[in-house]
Amino acid sequence: MSTPFPFDLDRDRFLFLADRASGLRAILCIDDLRAGPAAGGIRTRAYPRVEDAAAEVAGLARGMTIKCALAGLAAGGAKTVVLDHSGMDRPAAFRALGGYIEELAGRYHAAGDFGTTAADLAAAAERTRFVHINEPDLAGAVGESVARCLRVAFDRLDGGALAGRTVGIQGCGAIGAAVAGRLHDAGARLVVADVVPERAEALRSLGADVVAPEAILQAEVDALVPAALGGVLDERSAPAVRARVVCGAANGVMAGDEVGRALSARGVILVPDALGSAGAVMEGIGSAVMGLSDRTPLFAALEETTREVLDRAEETGESPDAVARRLAFERLDALRLGDARDWANWAE
């Protein structure tokens, strides 16, 4: 039977949120609660149609479920998109959103994402305990997860270290800048680009070379780290990639599995962005939900998972993204009744 929805409805919660006074229009998708409460950022942008926003939030929430499972977290995936429009009172809208998140009683833990500012998160946090507002901590953790994944990839490539490699970073916002800082500390050379020139120029203090945004994907680098929006590597852009390793710090950097297979066929090592970008959710959930004062073991386990994904991809000929998805759901399906609390019916 045909459906009016541009995505499957196999989700735990799918909430359309509105607040007349502030103009809030948002969609909150909780994808999976089997392993624990759901985690995922708040994205703010204008959408041509509500259907486009719904399709994006569904895909992003499923991606967060995969990321949490691969990271070994007691959490599932979720996402919120706020539909930006001229009639929205932004501070009031995010306060209203915070109220809706609080009503979920801890089933959903939120943080920032593309288009959402620190002021937005602070406004939401006025109404809820379940918004992580310490963005530098989360961004720094992504820098750590990218560095660890790159070490695994270079060891696999030629047995070499990260130090001395040249890494291209597309996008120099909070995440990209944190990745740049961590890789600089590890001894890597940097080539960076951003559609906002000032953000890229600020990284010259790390010795970074700045190139035009349209040139970064084709830059002569050892590794490429997309740290902006998803879908940047597609059938048109991927053939021009010269890097020997690609590791996503943003969500969904590959436009499809066929792109990953084509790059792999050229000998490019692809680290799924579900692994490369996992640091933020590991930091946030590891602390707020799992109560871990030291998240180092999570990062060490991430390296082993990266090796497992790359090994399986080589053995099967599948794209690493496809292998990562299958491994994530193998882990979720292996949860026995009683291994995790019934978060779907849980409240403090």
- Cα distance between residue 247 and residue 273, in whole Å: 6
C-alpha distances in angstroms, 17 versus 55, 102, 124, 163, 318?
Answer: 15, 13, 14, 47, 39
Name which of 194, 201, 233 is nearest 217 in CA terms.
Answer: 233
How confident is residue 344, by pLDDT bands cut at 50, 70 and 90? very low
Q: Which one of the listed residues 11, 79, 165, 182 is annotated catalytic?
A: 79
How confident is residue 3, by pLDDT bands cut at 50, 70 and 90? low
Q: Percent of the chain scored above 70 by pLDDT?
A: 93
In this predicted structure, the answer to whether residue 152 has a pLDDT above a threshold of 80 is: yes
**pLDDT digit string, tens, across residues 175-219:** 999 999 999 999 999 999 999 999 999 999 999 999 999 999 999
pTM for the model stands at 0.89
Tokens 């852009």 belong to 237
Do the two domains 13-65+76-133 and 137-332 of this chain adopt the same fold? Answer: yes
Report pLDDT for 5: 59
Average pLDDT, integer, range 47-68? 94
Report pLDDT for 91: 98
Instruction: Respond yes or no: is residue 67 known to be catalytic.
Output: no
Report pLDDT for 8: 61
How confident is residue 135, by pLDDT bands cut at 50, 70 and 90? confident
Average pLDDT, integer, range 28-35? 94
Q: What is the CATH number of domain 137-332?
A: 3.40.50.720
Report pLDDT for 345: 44
The more confident residue out of 7 and 150 is 150
Report pLDDT for 16: 95
Counting every residue, how long is the chain? 348
For the chain, the structural domain boundaries read 13-65+76-133, 137-332
Mean pLDDT over each residue of the chain, to the nearest integer: 92
Name which of 124, 107, 112 is nearest 173 in CA terms.
Answer: 112
Report pLDDT for 256: 85
Contact status, residue 113 vs residue 142, Cβ threshold 8 Å? no
**pLDDT digit string, tens, across residues 217-256:** 999 999 999 999 888 999 999 999 999 999 999 988 998 8
Contact status, residue 101 vs residue 124, Cβ threshold 8 Å? yes
Q: What is the CATH number of domain 13-65+76-133?
A: 3.40.50.10860
Report pLDDT for 257: 85
Report pLDDT for 28: 97
Report pLDDT for 103: 97
Report pLDDT for 338: 44
In this predicted structure, the answer to whether residue 295 has a pLDDT above a threshold of 80 is: yes
